Structure 1
Amino acid sequence: MKKKVFALSLTGILALGAVTPALTTYAVGEGPNFNGNESIQTANLYTYDEMVKFLKTQDAKQDAMQLEVIGQTVKGRDIHLAKYISDPSNPTILFLTQQHGNEQLTTEGALEFIKHLGTGKTKGVLDKVNILILPMLNADGAMGDVNFSLDNYIADGGRHLTRYNAVGADLNRDHVDKVHPETQALHKNVLQKYDIDYMIDLHHQGTQARRDGKLVSGSMLYPTNPNVKPEVLEKSKKLGAVVFNAVDSTGWGHIAKYNGGSGENIGRNGAAVQYDISTLLFEMRGMSDHEGEWAIIGQKSNGYLIKQTITTLDAAVRAIADGSIENADTSFWDTLETQR
């Protein structure tokens, strides 16, 4: 039986109107990072099998949801796509999690978001926007089912998780060559198959990054490859503005600009260049497992990071559905400090 990582009611978040967080336990920078037995308990995270069971249960419950297998991992695990497509002519957004297997809290948040898309509180929204959610692209890395040693990984409890896929490849550097089956499935059966307007690629970073002298809860970046069309870049910046305004205003969210590369082989750049998809990278604070103590998030910080994921997804969906994304002010990017 799955142990609960975080019990969270999304009634307020998914009700029409602004997101109203109710987190009071830990403000940014006050929650524990790595601290002996306070580090994250990986046994509390969804396993691949638990995630699949959850997705199939929600698919059976939700009329608006369709579950599709888009391919398999190196080790033969099915890769699932949750689809909410009411009208193919509507704008479409893709949420992608866990290209890196040791970055799982975004998957936990995405699954909570899927659950509450079935509550009926988002019916009007689902009539105006199509949503694609691809959780745990790198299931082999998430399960530690790899062809190399994970003895140097140090998270507490349960399985170890690795950044890389089963054969030691970084999937987020495979968006040009597309050598690996996970990347091939994403491109052939999602990015090329569906008419996608926006994509948020959800990741995790270390725990010590700062903006304005304060620890950040995450960082963001639009596509930075020089071949991205200006209109695609502008829409990407607007998507970032929507997310920034929703998260940074909460009091517990504190967002910086990410210092990312410009290579087309990186997911946010590859999708923008190859398919004219407006993309946003969101790097949440802390990882589920790592070789270094500096990178692992504390168990008690799970809650606000999962909530940050849900807030991000909800804000993006609502802004696209009601068209307010078109009026998003992107000028904040000009002064947003790159994290240190």
Structure 2
Amino acid sequence: MKKSLANFRTLAASGALALAVVAGPAPLAHAVGEGPNYDGNGQITTSKLATYEQMVSFLKDQDARQPAMELEVIGQTVKGRDIHLVKYISDPAKPTILYLTQQHGNEQLTTEGAMEFIKHLGAGKSADILKGVNILVVPMLNADGAMGDVNFSLENYLAKGDRNLTRYNAEGVDLNRDHVAKVQPETQALHNKVMRKYRIDYMIDLHHQGTRAERDGKLVSGSILYPTTPNADPAVVEKSKQLGAVVFNNVDSTGWGHLGKYQGGSAETISRNGISVEYGIATLLFEMRGMSDHYLDGYALGQRSNGYLIKQTVTTLTSTAAAIADGSIADADTSFWNTLAEQTSRPAGEAEDE
């Protein structure tokens, strides 16, 4: 059933029309790198980002509207917020992909994009995708951090007059360093109720990085990376590289997307590495440009970038689900990784790790 991804690119691009309602006008083709850096000027605004309560209301509404969708609570955060899993499983024998967002609570545009993707899956035009793939989405793992409901001071965070969003969970722990010990309730929920419960073939872990990463002298809209631990099965790494090829081909070619190779470590405490080794799953890290809030200049990005970064997320999720559904991912050419330049950082700041 192999066919061109062109028709699915149309589906991904059509998300921009819906996004215009949520995030303002669709971005122009020259949007790469043009979002306003903070750098001590202007204002970081988070009031237009969905709160945890708004996200839950959205998920419940979509669950009621979509026969193919099932909503499951997989656990609770430190502060007792339910952690949700969105499921589209019609046949366990089909390949399954997991999309994970907001391990870091100050990286929210991936969650906004995941919500838009979920809405698209309820439309008739996505029926072909759901026929060939099972889809799992954890749309906000770190809800406490996303709401700034934490047990440490946020007085130095940049979003003034709005809610603050923090990288860490309520106990000040980086959840993306907890995939070996699995101490935190959020990480335990992910592993016990998702990773060990479902037969997952692919995972994309969606994050944000700083604003100053560039490739070939041009600011990136995001960066990607496969598992780099030496303990990863080479066959799994190759499948991960194929997942990255689908993302690169569908994002970097748009005119508003410009991707680099992320400079990431080999520690298995990081989900990209640890999950790949523990479960034999092909994993891909996608780091979008700029964070929703931070305590350091050079990391948070002004809200005028929201539209194209959300669109980038929708394109990523739609194109990879489509490629798995129609089998074309097996033909994805991974040779581009050999020449894809690692991102570098412009002076005055470096991108924060995963």
**What's the TM-score once normalised by structure 1's chain length?**
0.93
Contact 2:203/2:281 (8 A) holds in 1: yes
Contact kept, 8 Å, 2:8 with 2:318, in 1: the verdict is no
Q: CA deviation at 1:155?
A: 2.0
1:25 and 1:248 map into 2 onto residues whose CA distance is 12
Distance in 1 separating the partners of 2:113 and 2:185:
25
Alignment partner of 1:275 out of 251, 274, 279: 279
Measure how far apart 1:14 and its partner are: 10
Match of 1:199 in 2: 203
* Alpha-carbon distance between aligned partners in 2 of 1:262 and 1:191, rounded to the nearest angstrom: 20
Q: Match of 1:90, SS?
A: coil
Q: CA deviation at 1:157?
A: 3.8
| Partner of residue 333, structure 1 | 337
Instruction: Map 1:163-178 to 2 at 5 A.
Output: 163-178=167-182
Q: Report what 2:317 is aligned to.
A: 313
Paired letter, 1:149: S
Structure 2 matches for 1:237-248, cutoff 5 A?
A: 237-248=241-252
Once the two structures are overlaid, the 10-residue window that deviates more, 266-275 or 13-22, is: 13-22
Task: Decide whether the 8 Å contact of 2:9 with 2:315 is kept in 1.
Answer: no
One-letter amino acid of the counterpart of residue 232, structure 1: V
Number of residues of Structure 1 aligned to a counterpart in Structure 2: 328
Deviation at 1:31, TM superposition (A): 2.5
Q: 1:266 aligns with which of 270, 279, 293?
A: 270
Alignment of 1:120 onto 2:124: yes
**What is the CA–CA distance in structure 2 between the aligned matches of 1:92 and 1:286, rounded to whole Å?**
29
- In the aligned structure 1, how far is the partner of 2:109 from the partner of 2:285? 15
Q: Matched residues in 2 for 1:286 and 1:310: separation?
A: 17
**Cα offset, 1:125, TM superposition:** 1.2
Deviations 1:17-40 (A, max 9, x none): 555476317521222222667544
Aligned to 2:142: 138
Cα offset, 1:298, TM superposition: 1.1
Q: Residues of 2 paired with 1:162 and 1:274: CA distance? A: 28
Cα contact 1:105–1:302 (8 A) shared by 2: yes
Gaps of 5+ in 1: 1-12
Q: TM-score by structure 2 length?
A: 0.90
With over 3 angstroms needed to count, the CA separation of the structure-2 counterparts of 1:60 and 1:169, relative to structure 1, is same
Q: Alignment RMSD, CA only? A: 1.6
Secondary structure in 2 matching 1:265: coil
| Percent identical residues | 70
- Partners of 1:311 and 1:338 lie apart in 2 by 22
Aligned pairs for 1:1-340 (under 5 A) are 16=8, 18=10, 19-20=12-13, 23-24=27-28, 26-34=30-38, 38-340=42-344
Name the structure 1 match of 2:349.
none
C-alpha separation between the residues in 1 aligned to 2:109 and 2:313?
Answer: 8
- Counterpart of 1:337 in 2: which secondary structure? coil
Q: Secondary structure at the match of 2:199?
A: coil
The one-letter code matched in structure 1 to 2:89 is I
Q: Deviations over 1:151-199 (max 9, x none)?
A: 0101244200100000000000000000000000000000010000000
SS at match of 1:75: coil
Q: Distance in 2 between matches of 1:72 and 1:316?
A: 29
Does the 8 Å contact 1:37/1:156 carry over to 2?
A: no
Pair 1:289–1:17, CA change in 2 (3 A) = closer
Cα distance between partner residues in 2 of 1:289 and 1:17: 31
107 and 274 in structure 1: CA distance in 2 versus 1, 3 angstrom threshold: same
Structure 1 residue ranges, 4+ long, deviating more than 3 angstroms after superposition: 13-23, 35-40
Q: Give the CA deviation at 1:43.
A: 1.0
Question: Is residue 14–residue 121 contact of structure 1 (8 Å, CA) maintained in 2?
Answer: no
Instruction: Give the gaps of 5 or more residues in structure 2.
Output: 17-25, 345-354
Aligned mates of 1:69, 1:314 — CA distance in 2: 24
8 A Cα contact 2:44 2:160, kept in partner = yes
Residues 85 and 130 of structure 1 are in contact (CA less than 8 Å); yes or no, is this contact kept in structure 2? yes
1:98–1:104: 8 Å Cα contact kept in structure 2? yes
For the structure 1 residues 17 and 249, does the alpha-carbon distance in structure 2 shift closer, same or farther, using more than 3 Å as the test? closer
CA contact (8 A) 2:8 2:319 kept: no
Output the amino acid matched with 1:160.
N
Change (3 A) 1:255 1:25: closer
